[in-house]
Amino acid sequence: MSFIENKTFDELKIGDSAHLKRTLTPKDIELFSIMSGDVNPAHVDAEYAKDDMFHKIIAQGMWGASLISTVLGTELPGPGTIYLDQTLKFTAPVVPGDAVTVIVTVTDKNPKNHIVDLECNCVNQHDKTVISGIATVIAPTLKVKRERVELPKVLFKEPKGAWYRHIIKLTEHFAPLKTAVVHPVDKLALQGAIDAAKENIIIPILVGPKDKILAAAIEANLDISAYEIIPTQHSQEAAEVAVQLARECKVEALMKGKIHTDELMGPVVHKETGLLTGRRMSHVFYVEAPNYSKPLFLSDAALNIQPNLQEKKDITQNAIDLFRTLGFGTPKVAIVCAVETVNEKMQSTLDAAALSKMADRDEITGAIVDGPLAFDNAISIEAAREKGIRSNVAGDADIIIVPDIESGNMLYKEMTYLSGMEAAGIVMGAKIPIILTSRGSDDISRKASCALALAYVRHKGNN
């Protein structure tokens, strides 16, 4: 148990001092900016700061000054102190990584009104003074000793759409992807495609009933005069025409509009006229969760209902191929189940063990694969250690392979709605990627899925 205790006026002596040491982190600057509203680009914009006076991000001057207040209010004199006046002189910048030591020293006492003057100095790790000044306070007269209040933890979440910029970086300098947008006959479906086109991510070819597409454009207040429309009678024909465009190499990707997934995928998986390859098709989500240190790939939460072992092998390989093609290196793949041990009554654990062995024998290539792993010990090294799991994947997974669509879809939606996760996704295993967005996807997710498809196609072409 930790306590906070003051020094009363009578206890204070000239020369008494207290100190506090803090190492500045980028998160400190972000939090101070959020609390104060000080978003001067010298503090928060690295691109701007490199051409500024100090050529790097620096802390707000008052961040260091606030540490003086911390010492006065918690150490010397401590609780009950009333701040009256403060002079400050800023003599050097404080940058991330600097270890700042704050020293306050009693220099004068006035017994008539309990006013105390304190010299204040902030020095960095090189013993260089960065802030100096004099504080004037009314010192407490009553003794205080209380249990120190435990503060809540702060969780940082990037602004909405920040993750989208991470995906966009994967597409820099690439020509937009010629994409058949299948049955974009409502505002949401059409808006996502046109927004992606405006950012040079795709070149949309709108396939569907022309009158409905034009009506959707009017509703969304969109000018689509620059984009090709291939008219069809209905959604089924739109899917068939889009697949034929892909077979003729006239488009490089398909994008789902207002059409059921089964109706879109029917022509795609047709044995004679579809887009089949030698591998099972599967959907892969690219996920950025606020409390995970890196992007996470999740498969299959959208397409395969209850895959068997061979289908899971293809699902796993598809996710690995996407990860590697995007230039992320060799992934760590967690085959997740309800438990992390093999149980003959749980088929998913048997499949997970088999998939791990397949990877050992290069039947699955390009990744480190382990399973069964429960979700907690797949992403948390602490949980893995608690269970005594020794694994190169546990606690550091790049790819999560789920047992079936029910567990995967629930996991995805729980992470989305409860954890603030944001995601993009495409179907792998066909001759071209398929951008399979849901009606719940917002504009950013739709654009991000288009960008993911673009990055995959162009990186694959460069390999």
pLDDT at 287 over 70: yes
End-to-end CA distance of the chain: 59
pLDDT band at 440 (very low <50, low <70, confident <90, very high): low
Mean pLDDT of 122-137: 98
Report the candidate in 324, 313, 293, 304 with the shortest Cα–Cα distance to residue 459. Answer: 324
Predicted confidence at residue 463, as pLDDT, reads 64
Residue extents of the structural domains in the chain: 3-147, 162-462
Mean pLDDT of 156-185: 87
Mean pLDDT of 268-289: 94
Contact 30, 43 (CB under 8 A): no
pLDDT band at 170 (very low <50, low <70, confident <90, very high): confident
Dihedral-angle region of residue 233 (phi above 0 means left; psi in -120 to 50 means alpha; beta otherwise) = alpha
Model pLDDT for residues 43-100, shown as the tens digit of each residue: 999 999 999 999 999 999 999 999 999 999 999 999 999 999 999 999 999 999 999 9
pLDDT band at 289 (very low <50, low <70, confident <90, very high): confident
Mean pLDDT of 113-120: 98
pLDDT at 223 over 70: yes
* Class for the domain spanning 162-462: alpha beta
pLDDT at 178 over 90: yes
Q: How many CB atoms lie within 10 A of CB 371?
A: 29
Q: Which CATH architecture has domain 3-147?
A: Roll (3.10)
DSSP alpha helix (H) spans, 210-296? 210-220, 235-247, 261-268
Which two tokens mark 143?
């003794």
Give me the half-sphere count of Cα atoms (radius 13 Å) on the Cβ side of residue 382: 0
Contact 306, 441 (CB under 8 A): no
pTM, entire model = 0.80
Mean pLDDT in the chain?
94
Between CA 429 and CA 207, with CA 167 as vertex, the angle to 5 degrees is 55
pLDDT at 135 over 70: yes
